[in-house]
Structure 1
């Protein structure tokens, strides 16, 4: 150190550029770069969505639910069969698409929207359907249905796993139905929601 060289100074640099002050946001961007915006984001996070349902579907779409198969892949010594039906390995696609419990929920939803729900071969097929729109099943209604179903089914899965209790699927559907009706009614003055009640109830 030499006094002739002047006082010590602190500097902060990111990606080769010096900055006069420390920025936590810039540091975060360097440590955790943003991924490209996904096209599905605008459909999942639509105005009027139930926040906890939208967040859950976002996590589900990223395939980050702690299913038994996923937990086993982390090294946990656990059974990997579905804790609801025990017929297949517990993956996201099985839980939400092919588990018999989910099958009953989808059947009831299909009755509500005039048998316009196709059989889904995989998760991508489901998301593609939920993101598209027709006059009888607008994308907002489709996404509300998918969000409510996946949230409810995961709730029941956790209830079965931790408490060994499970609501009958028709009772669980009543909760889905009630949630959709309340959500549509709460947003009825918005243009996208104005006609949804008739489409859901008729």
Structure 2
């Protein structure tokens, strides 16, 4: 045992906060993922572990390039971490749908800012699909 106290997830207040729990299996996080990747050819069941998430990101298809999955995953993880810190330090909770709206806005802004680059030209249509 490492002697570190176990910290309860502040998003669900139910289970111990681990990387996989906080970013993937927490009910709150799962709902954010479900909303955020609905149009990106998500797996039949959402990820259960970090390796499953990485495997999904790397799988490219004709309809959803890996680049779009990478941006979406980075954005979701960033906003989950930001929400976790907001709850922990400021006691401010937002719904998963509110977090999704922030993710959607950031994805649109990121794609728009890079729209002149060849690899980004079709991403907006695929994100909004």
What TM-score, normalized by structure 2, do the two folds share? Answer: 0.90
2:30 maps to which of 103, 107, 123 = 103
5+ residue gaps, structure 2: none
Which residue is 1:121 aligned to?
Answer: 48
Higher helix share: 2
**Are positions 1:81 and 2:8 aligned together?**
yes
Work out the CA distance in 1 between the residues paired with 2:60 and 2:111. Answer: 17
Q: Is the aligned partner of 1:130 residue 2:57?
A: yes
Counterpart position of 1:198: 125
d(CA) in 1 for partners of 2:82 and 2:48? 23
* Residue of structure 2 in register with 1:168 after alignment: 95
Q: Distance in 1 between matches of 2:70 and 2:21?
A: 19
Q: Which runs of 4+ in 1 moved over 3 A?
A: none
Aligned position for 1:37: none
Distance in structure 1 (CA, Å) of the matches to 2:21 and 2:48: 10
Query: How far does residue 183 in structure 1 lie from its aligned partner after superposition?
Result: 0.7
Q: Which has the higher contact order (CA 8 A, sep 6+)?
A: 2
Paired residue total = 127
Cα deviation 1:63-89 (Å, max 9, x = unaligned)? xxxxxxxxx94x45x452211112211
State TM-score, norm by structure 1.
0.59
Deviation at 1:149? 0.3
The 2-side partners of 1:79 and 1:120 are apart by: 23
1:111 partner SS: coil
CA RMSD of superposed structures (Å): 1.6
- Structure 2 CA distance for aligned equivalents of residues 184 and 110 of structure 1: 16
CA distance in 2, matches of 1:94, 1:79: 13
